[in-house]
Structure 1
Amino acid sequence: MYKMIVCDLDETLMNDDGSLSAKNAAAIKEATAKGIYFVPNSGRSYTSFQNDLETMGLRDRAGQYSISYNGGLILENKNNRPLAVNAMPFEIAKTIFETGAANPEAATHVYTEDALYIYNPISEDSDYLQNRGVKFTEMQTADFEQFQGQNIMKVIMALPSVEKRKQMREVVESQVDPKQLTVTFSSGRYVEFNPAGINKGTAAVQLGQLLDIKPEEIIAAGDNSNDLSMLKAVGMPVSVANGIDAVKDVARYVTSADNNHDALAEVIAKFIL
C-alpha cells in the first residue's frame, strides 16, 4: 500500500502555462482524504506554489509537507516550518555564481531559503517564471558578498541550448570539485547546482523516515533529469507521458496522459483510489 506521493511540479503536475488543472486538484484532495500524503517535490521555492497548495487544500496545513530546491528544504506546510535545511557552503555557491555571471548568455539564479535573485535576467526565462507565480529580485551587481550569513539553497543558470548548459556544467566543475556538487538539468532550460548528496530522492526518503514511511511505500512522479533521483529512490517511480527518455527508462509506470491532460489524476486513480 502506498502512503505518500512525491511529485514534481513544472511539466509534471502543472500544465505548460503553469496552471493546476481542476481534475488534478480534485484527485489530490481525494487522495489526501484517504490519508495519503501528497508532497510537492520541486526545484522551485515553496513561496512560488502557495496558491497551488491552497487549491489542493494543503496550504498552511499541519501534518502536510513540501520539498523545495531539489531537496534543499523540507517544510511542514503549517507556517512553512522548516524540518530540514540542506544549504550550500558559501564559498562553493560564490564560485558557481561567479562562473555563471561571467557568461553573458546566462541568467544566473541564486535561491536563498525564502527568495530568488537573478543576475542578468533574460526575457524568455523571466516570462517562464512569472507564468508560474515565481517572484524574483534582479541583482544589479555581481557582488555575491550580499548573501553572507544567508542559507544558499542552490545556484542555477538558464541557457538557450543543451550544449551550452552542458558546457556550463563543465566550466563549473573545473572550478569546484564535482564531488562537492549535485548537478541536474530541468525544464529544457536550466542547469542546476545543489550540494553533494542533496537531491529530490534523498529528501523524499528523509521525509519518509520522519513519517515512518518506507521508500517502497512512496510513489514519485516526474518528467526530467532532476526527478531521476526520486524515481530511483521509491517503490513506484512514475513518468508522465511527456517525460524525457531517461525518466521513462527508470519508471515502472508511464502515464497515458501528458502534463496538459491530468496525468497526476491518472496516477492517483490507478494506485490510490
Structure 2
Amino acid sequence: MYKMIVCDLDETLMNDDGTLSTGNSKAIQAATAKGVYFVPNSGRSYTSFQNDLETMHLRNQANQYSISYNGGLILENKDNRPIAINAMPFDVAKAVFETGAKNKNAATHVYTQDVLYIYNPVPEDSAYLRNRGVEFKELTNPDFEQFKNDNIMKVIMALPTMAERKQMRAQVEKQVDPKKLAVTYSSDRYVEFNPAGIDKGSASVQLGKLLGIKPEEIIAAGDNSNDLPMLKAVGLPVSVSNGIDSVKEVAKYVTKADNNHDALAEVINKFVL
C-alpha cells in the first residue's frame, strides 16, 4: 500500500499554462481523504504554489507537507513551518552565483528561504515564471555578501540551449569542487545547483522517515532530470507521458496522459483509489 505521493509541479502536475486541472485536484483530494499524503516536490519556492495548495484543500493544513528548492526545504503546510532546511554553504553559493553573473546570456536566480532574486532577468524566463505565479525581485547589485545572513537554498541559471547549460555547469565546476554540488537540469531552460546530497529524492526519503513511511511506500511522479533522484529513491517511480527519455527509462509506470490531460489523476486512480 502506498502512503505518500511526491510530485513535481511544472510539466508534471500542472498544465503547460501553469494551471492545476480540476481532474488532478479532485484526485488529490480523494487520495488525501484516504489518508495518503500528497506532497508537492518542486524546484520552485513554496510561496509560488500556495494558491494551488488551496485548490487541493492542503493550504495551511496541519500534518500536510511540501518540498521546495529541489529538496532544499521541507515544510509543514500549517503556517509554512520549516521541518528541514538543507541550505547551501555560503562560499559554495557565492562561487556558483559569481560564475553565472559573468554570463550576459544567463538569468541567474538566487533562492533564499523565502525570496527569489534574479540577476540579469531575461524576458522569456521572467514570463515563464510569472505565468506560474512565481514572484521575484530583480537583483541589481551583484555583491553576494548581501546574502551573508540568509539561507541560500539553491542557485540556478536560465539559458536558452542545453549546450549553454552544460557549458555553465563546466564553468561552475572549475570554481567549485563538483563533490560539493548536486547539479540537475529542468524545464528545458535551467541548470540548477544545490548542495551535494540534497535533491528531490533525499528530501522525499527524509520526510518519509519523519512520518514513518518507508521508501517502498512512496510514489513519485516527474518529467525531467531534476526528478530523477526522486524517482530512483521510491517504490513506484512514475513518468508522465511527456517526460524525457531518461525519466521514462527509470519509471516503473509511464502514464498514457501527458501533463495537460490529468496524468496525475491517472496515477492516483490506478494505484491509490
**Into which bin does the TM-score normalised by the smaller protein fall?**
over 0.9
Distance of 1:193 and 1:264 partners within structure 2: 27
Alignment correspondent of 2:38 = 38
Alignment correspondent of 2:73 = 73
Instruction: Give the residue type in structure 2 aligned to 1:150.
Output: D
The 5 A counterparts of 1:227-246 are 227-246=227-246
Residue 151 of structure 1 deviates from its aligned partner by 0.1
Are residue 146 (structure 1) and residue 150 (structure 2) matched? no
Distance of 1:115 and 1:9 partners within structure 2: 19
Q: TM-score, normalised by structure 2?
A: 1.00
**Per-residue displacement from partner, 1:181-211 (whole Å, max 9, x unpaired)?**
0000000000000000000000000000000
Distance of 2:23 and 2:238 partners within structure 1: 18
Alignment correspondent of 1:56 = 56
Distance of 2:209 and 2:12 partners within structure 1: 25
Instruction: Give the residue type in structure 1 aligned to 2:118.
Output: I
The 5 A counterparts of 1:241-260 are 241-260=241-260
Supply the RMSD in Å over aligned alpha carbons: 0.3
**Per-residue displacement from partner, 1:39-72 (whole Å, max 9, x unpaired)?**
0000000000000000000000000000000000
Distance of 2:230 and 2:40 partners within structure 1: 12
Q: Identity of aligned pairs, percent?
A: 77
Residue 164 of structure 1 deviates from its aligned partner by 0.1
Residue 141 of structure 1 deviates from its aligned partner by 1.6
Alignment correspondent of 1:176 = 176
Instruction: Give the residue type in structure 1 aligned to 2:66.
Output: S
**Which ranges in structure 1 are unaligned for 5 or more consecutive residues?**
none
Distance of 1:202 and 1:162 partners within structure 2: 25
Distance of 1:22 and 1:219 partners within structure 2: 21
Distance of 2:2 and 2:86 partners within structure 1: 27
Secondary structure of the residue that 1:153 maps to in structure 2? Answer: strand
The 5 A counterparts of 1:111-190 are 111-190=111-190
Distance of 2:251 and 2:23 partners within structure 1: 23
Instruction: Give the residue type in structure 2 aligned to 1:256.
Output: K
Q: Deviating runs (4+, > 6 A) in structure 1?
A: none
Distance of 2:38 and 2:2 partners within structure 1: 11
**Which ranges in structure 2 are unaligned for 5 or more consecutive residues?**
none
Distance of 1:247 and 1:59 partners within structure 2: 29
Alignment correspondent of 1:6 = 6
Secondary structure of the residue that 1:83 maps to in structure 2? Answer: strand
Secondary structure of the residue that 1:62 maps to in structure 2? Answer: coil
Residue 87 of structure 1 deviates from its aligned partner by 0.3
Residue 143 of structure 1 deviates from its aligned partner by 1.0
Alignment correspondent of 2:22 = 22
Distance of 1:192 and 1:73 partners within structure 2: 15
Distance of 2:220 and 2:3 partners within structure 1: 11
Instruction: Give the residue type in structure 1 aligned to 2:9.
Output: L
Are residue 214 (structure 1) and residue 207 (structure 2) matched? no
Residue 263 of structure 1 deviates from its aligned partner by 0.2
Q: TM-score, normalised by structure 1?
A: 1.00
Instruction: Give the residue type in structure 1 aligned to 2:207.
Output: L
Residue 250 of structure 1 deviates from its aligned partner by 0.1
Are residue 47 (structure 1) and residue 47 (structure 2) matched? yes
